[in-house]
Structure 1
């Protein structure tokens, strides 16, 4: 795998709610690697773009769960049917039914301004250019593809940094909602972290890194603090920092 490409893995979910979703993401990685190995760099880019758009859908899904009222407000202008489908969605991949340029507007809810969203939309345009039968081969070498992937990763990293505040809000809500082992979804701390936080919120390694940095002391005055502290410790135990994080 091209080194630049592998960096995307840190921004993609560690677990999925269904095997179908997991298999789909594996399929895209396999398509990217196979086309790269055979020098079909243009098709490799198409697979990679689909992975990146999936990353965008996962981020918008987190916005939908954590900032529901703002998400609903952002749908002004959508048809009633589309609005109903998005609100009732049980998977981030439902966002694929919306025009990609349009769905990027939801990133305004994490303070991505119009200039940045315009830059992100150019990635969609570039994908469209490579996907059409226009007689052009846009990536003739691995170096050309690697250069484009570096640009893409910079965009992904920027979106992730804009997501940090909402991830922290969601994590705080998770801890507060999970402080009573008898009332929450799972009595076991590990099961609660994995099944409710990581899977339902489609948490990536980068998201988990953000959660580990959460100041648990800010909840010290809340009822059930020991249970929340135990969950926070369990998260750190289940998902310790990677070598790359420690080096940074």
Structure 2
């Protein structure tokens, strides 16, 4: 079960509402309880829902960062669903789309059809597991652990493709939030926590991408000193001492 906990590093550090946070906590509790008591099939279902939450949060970041591309990618969806997604205020609105179909948004970050097909295969497996078909697909801990390893490989792959989205998000944050006189919070830590981390559903893995950002790309900006101060504040808050 220790390996399964790695998924938490791909989920947001904070949520926009207590309801969202309670939902994720409920799924983790369901997974852990069923895993400990040997109900591995039900543990898999909870873990799948956590994985789909990761998918929704990543697609939400695409929607926020590249809205025009996101809108174009919805061609073919029902008009009512399209309207609902464009007006959405929560990543969980994506539940309105078939789970296999929602994976196609990952084409926007460079995932090809073969990769998207492998992601969609997880959904089919969930469907087979959830239906009343007389089969227990995950009857042993080993079977579930092997599936978790596969899921985490896919999650890491999607995260790698998302790097450009996170880098763009972070760059825009630094560029537009460096002035204490005009931003929402004068204190840099508050601005980072609320406007960057909280508003964008950033995960620990997203933070790690931001920490690798080359601040010298702003060297020619007139406001570079203030931009660097904000970046340094971010590094101080989230860097991990590996010594």
> How would you bin the TM-score normalised by the shorter chain?
over 0.9
**Does the CA-based 8 Å contact 1:209-1:241 persist in structure 2?**
no
Following the alignment from structure 1 to structure 2, what is the Cα–Cα distance between the partners of residues 204 and 70?
23
Following the alignment from structure 2 to structure 1, what is the Cα–Cα distance between the partners of residues 147 and 42?
13
Q: Alignment partner of 1:14: what SS?
A: coil
| Runs of 4+ deviating beyond 4 Å | none
Q: Alignment partner of 1:3: what SS?
A: coil
Q: Structure 1-normalised TM-score?
A: 0.95
**Does the CA-based 8 Å contact 1:175-1:228 persist in structure 2?**
yes
Q: Counterparts of 1:2-17 in structure 2 under 5 Å?
A: 2-17=1-16
Q: Quote the offset at 1:82 in angstroms.
A: 1.2
Following the alignment from structure 2 to structure 1, what is the Cα–Cα distance between the partners of residues 76 and 183?
37
1:167 aligned residue: 166
Residue 36 of structure 1 pairs with residue 41 of structure 2: no
**Does the CA-based 8 Å contact 1:179-1:225 persist in structure 2?**
no
1:234 aligned residue: 233
Following the alignment from structure 1 to structure 2, what is the Cα–Cα distance between the partners of residues 21 and 231?
29
Gaps of 5+ in 2: none
Q: Counterparts of 1:42-191 in structure 2 under 5 Å?
A: 42-191=41-190
Q: Alignment partner of 2:89: what SS?
A: coil
Following the alignment from structure 2 to structure 1, what is the Cα–Cα distance between the partners of residues 133 and 195?
46
Q: Quote the offset at 1:63 in angstroms.
A: 0.3
Following the alignment from structure 1 to structure 2, what is the Cα–Cα distance between the partners of residues 18 and 238?
23
Following the alignment from structure 1 to structure 2, what is the Cα–Cα distance between the partners of residues 149 and 43?
13
Gaps of 5+ in 1: none
Following the alignment from structure 2 to structure 1, what is the Cα–Cα distance between the partners of residues 35 and 225?
50
Q: Alignment partner of 1:138: what SS?
A: coil
Q: Structure 2-normalised TM-score?
A: 0.97
Following the alignment from structure 2 to structure 1, what is the Cα–Cα distance between the partners of residues 44 and 199?
29
Following the alignment from structure 2 to structure 1, what is the Cα–Cα distance between the partners of residues 102 and 206?
21
